[in-house]
Structure 1
Amino acid sequence: MPIELILTIVVAVVVVLGLGIGVAFLLRGRKTKPGTYPTTRDENDPPAGGAGASATEAPPEAAPPAGTDGVETDAVETEVPVEEPEVEAVPLDVPEPALGRLARLRARLVKSNNALGKGLLRLLSQDRIDEDVWDEIEETLLLADLGTDATMELVDNLRERVTVEGLREPEKVRAILREELIKLLAPELDRSIASDRREGRPAVVMVVGVNGVGKTTTIGKMARVLVAEDKDVLLGAADTFRAAAAEQLATWGARVGVPTVRSDVDGADPASVAFEAVKAGMEQEVDVVMVDTAGRLQNKVGLMDELGKIKRVIEKQATVDEVLLVLDATTGQNGLNQAKVFAEVVDITGIVLTKLDGTAKGGIVVAIQRQLGVPVKLVGLGEGADDLAPFEAGDFVDALLD
């Protein structure tokens, strides 16, 4: 073979190899490096598919990214797992023990009800108690919203004891007045809140009342009382009419580690939310489920009927053990009218009397109990988170007479 032909073949081979190597490097440089974020595929890129893929073969159609519904996009972002930073746990509030709260807050009652207690003591400690004095005592009691029947009963009992025992010493008069006032408050009534599991299910507590009495706040404070008693609590946000009511209730619960069942839909059926709350409470085996309800005026028939519906729906799976009516102590006799209407719709088992520290009419406690035949179980004595206390007749009367 001539030398010229051999050299020509060698040069041709070298050129072909050189071109092949150059093309290989060029194609390699066009590929996206692993881990690049985001990634973009150009229409001129070679198809995926490994060594057997043809440069002229159309690339396979890629599945559209989630959420695009097949709409073409210029770039496809690659999901890269990101390690979430550790979130520092927020410490829960530690509620104050429920026992003795009323005694601890007695100073507030002393200030608010000073006129009633001191007025009675002053009148009864006079050297001579004539009809004019008894008239003043009667007027003082009526002004304190004690109610006509309770006022007449107390005055008659005091008349008899003062006349028979002939007492004038302030301490002895105070002792008699204390005994008679406690008797009016019916200390024998059961003031405990249903908060224990019964027959394998949680206790269910409904909270009702008119607009503006502070039901949601009261439930939040009640949750703190129960948590302080080592109860496992779940809240149901069945007030679906008031904006942010569910959020407010959930915030109260979160402070003490209590979950809240709520609807994400504004204006959802309150009965359905209540039903789901009780169902969740049964599944989670909590001690007590407390259901918040929307505030309603006692003269709104439709809303009152709906309150009865909530109770009936709950009772399809569990008994409603407690229906607490929240009343504003500062409304006086108007609160009695509210209580009467609510009692006709749902069986009231107890009263929560809020803003008791803001009124000098401490007699409302007696009047409400006599009107409904149910006890005052809790009293609100301020704006603080732990300013809700179990009602104790002895401590309450001592605050009136202190």
Structure 2
Amino acid sequence: MILTMRKECKVWAAEMEEIAGHSLVGPKGSVSAQRLADYLYKTCLLKPQYHDGKITTNVEALQRIVKGNVPSTADTREQRKSCVEYAQAVVERVLRIRDQSKQCSLLATGLENNRMRCTYVVGGTESFRFSSSGTHTGRGTNLQNIDKRLRHVFIPDPGFTMVQMDQERAESMVVAYVSRDGAYIEAHLKGNTHVTVARLLWPDEEWNGQDVHDRALAAHSLAANKIGRHTMYYLAKRCQHGLNYLLTPHGMARELGLTVKESERVYTAYFEAFPGIKEWHAKVIEELKRTGKILYPGGYSREFFGRLGDRATHREAISSVPQSIVAWTNHIVWARMYKQLDGPDLQVLGHGHDSVLFQVRESKFGRPLRADLGDVKELTHVPWTIHG
């Protein structure tokens, strides 16, 4: 598999060289940041992107180029369009190569006792999530962000089945309850939330109120092609995440490839449907400005050291509330399972940001597995008092 992935990287590198007219690969076999910067900013005359005061070709800069948010300063309109298109074609391949190289590194990571291992860092993030990295032996890797394409290489022990439980729609559900928005709560309790939001944002479609029909419509409707390259289902999901965390119409247009006019319409429709979310934003910002910290459900708090009037600090504070609750819920379930169930018939294997991975003995739990998995379901119930 590694050989196949490396061959694909070579194909993309050759295509990139043909587009650019010269090789952008450095002596070590990876894309040269300097050569790439020269091509993008000197040959294609794109507006230079900076990070910490220096010209950069980091992921954020390249994603802006792919989305068409970085203009060229070439002389004519045709030249500017051509430069942007050539730059986008090169950058798309650079991103593929970088991503594929990371996956190859993961596959080449050494095993310990026939296990891929990692170290969880309890205080590794400000959002109370765990982070993960290699072990003290120099082996292992970050096991919390395994690409879906590679998950099939991880297999259970003989006689076991691997199971992953995650907190579906957990962050948006927390937003619904902390904002006390009745309509948004109902959207989570009745059917598919993303379909419900799609109905609200694009009311002229032929919805019939049935999730199965409307999910298919949201995924294939022609209206989706009029507003960008994404389906309405994808846009509804991304809009929720962004607007729940203080994304502006201009930011939405930039992130999702919508026009500013369409983004403004979506923004207005969303907060007309769920006004409690905007009111919650205002309360969090007011508390932050007044105290410099946020009090979370459960009684713990976090102090913020950024500029209290800065929008980036506001966004960080707002997003930290649902993210922290989801993180703590995951920690509690993970610890319960490890302490109470881990043994010869059930073994806890991993901790995701919002999921727990474990394997169960088929002779104990049956094949196919029973839906409730016995005692596991009881341990996943973690009550939170949001307003009390």
Task: Output the TM-score relative to the length of structure 1.
Answer: 0.20
Q: Which has the larger radius of gyration?
A: 1
Question: Relative to total residues, which structure has the larger helix share, 1 or 2?
Answer: 2
Task: Output the TM-score relative to the length of structure 2.
Answer: 0.20
Bigger RCO (CA 8 Å, 6+ sep): 1
